[in-house]
Amino acid sequence: MKIDVFLTAEEVKQKEISNSNVIVIDVLRATSVMVTAIAHGVSKIYPYESIEEVREASLTSSCCILCGERKGLKIEGFDYGNSPLEYQTEKIKNREMFMTTTNGTRALSNIKGKNNKIWIASFLNISTVLSFLEKEEKDCIIVCAGTENHFSLDDALCAGMIIEKLSNYEKTDIALALEQIAKTSINVKESLKNTKHYRYLKSIGLEKDLEFCCHLNTYPLLLEYKRETNSIFAVTK
């Protein structure tokens, strides 16, 4: 069994993945939002690459909320932005969430190949994802969404913290590199505070989101993404 890592949403597009567990990470903030929204009662999340797709697809739902960001900010006419804190509300209970973000939902759309199971990870549900992977007997590909096609340390650190604990997988060099990064990190927030996307989100006033996304294990949830239905939902294992 092997574990490998793709470092950006763009890299995923170039490659075919098959017979694997695929773990998608966009810590700041798409996958943190997904976990938080489902923890607070959203029934399903439908991720899309473009704003137009969200608008069109949401017409089929009578209980939809339109969610997402461009440049970190809420999209005009949408109900919610991409701040996990916005989703800590009763108002989203049993609603269907139609979502588009710059990197996270694009990474999901870019996954190609057969016989894969796709899962959503963030610091908020990292131990649940880890316990699941420890019991699996399939190859694993971790997809870091990255930021606008560049390597992003926030996703890489989360990936490294997963890889570090998985002793039963053969690790590629990139997996070993991220494991080393995780080993040198004492505190998530401290490790990320000087990174580009962290500083950008801070500069637009989103410091509380950053604090929140850096917490470990706030929600013990396993979320699966099914390509056939383009939907994300909670799974009990």
In the complex, which residue's CB is closest to ligand MLT? 101
CA-to-CA distance for 101 and 106, rounded, in angstroms? 7
Number of H helices, E strands in the chain: 10, 11
In the list 23, 24, 26, 86, the residue contacting ligand MLT (rule: CB under 6 A) is 26
Question: Which three-class secondary structure state does DSSP give residue 102?
Answer: coil
Residues 161-180 that bind ligand MLT (CB under 6 A): none
In the list 20, 102, 109, 218, the residue contacting ligand MLT (rule: CB under 6 A) is 102
In the list 8, 36, 103, 125, the residue contacting ligand MLT (rule: CB under 6 A) is 103
Asked if residue 47 binds ligand MLT (CB under 6 A), the reply is no
Residues 200-219 that bind ligand MLT (CB under 6 A): 201
In the list 72, 86, 141, 143, the residue contacting ligand MLT (rule: CB under 6 A) is 72
CA-to-CA distance for 76 and 235, rounded, in angstroms? 32
Q: Which stretch binds ligand MLT (CB under 6 A): 27-35, 55-63, 122-130, 181-189?
A: 27-35
The helix or strand, by DSSP H or E, that contains position 107, with its residue range, turns out to be: helix 104-109
Asked if residue 154 binds ligand MLT (CB under 6 A), the reply is no
Residues 129-148 that bind ligand MLT (CB under 6 A): 145
Burial 49-85, CB ≥16 within 10 A → b, else e? bebebbbebbeeeeebbbbbbeebebbeebbbbbbbb
What are the structure tokens assigned to 2, written together? Answer: 């092997």
Name the minimum Å distance from CB 192 to ligand MLT: 12
Name the minimum Å distance from CB 13 to ligand MLT: 15
In the list 30, 65, 92, 232, the residue contacting ligand MLT (rule: CB under 6 A) is 30
Q: Identity (one letter) of the amino acid at 29?
A: R
Count of residues of this chain found to bind ligand MLT when the rule CB under 6 A is applied:
13
Site residues, ligand MLT (CB under 6 A) = 26, 28-30, 69, 72, 82, 101-104, 145, 201
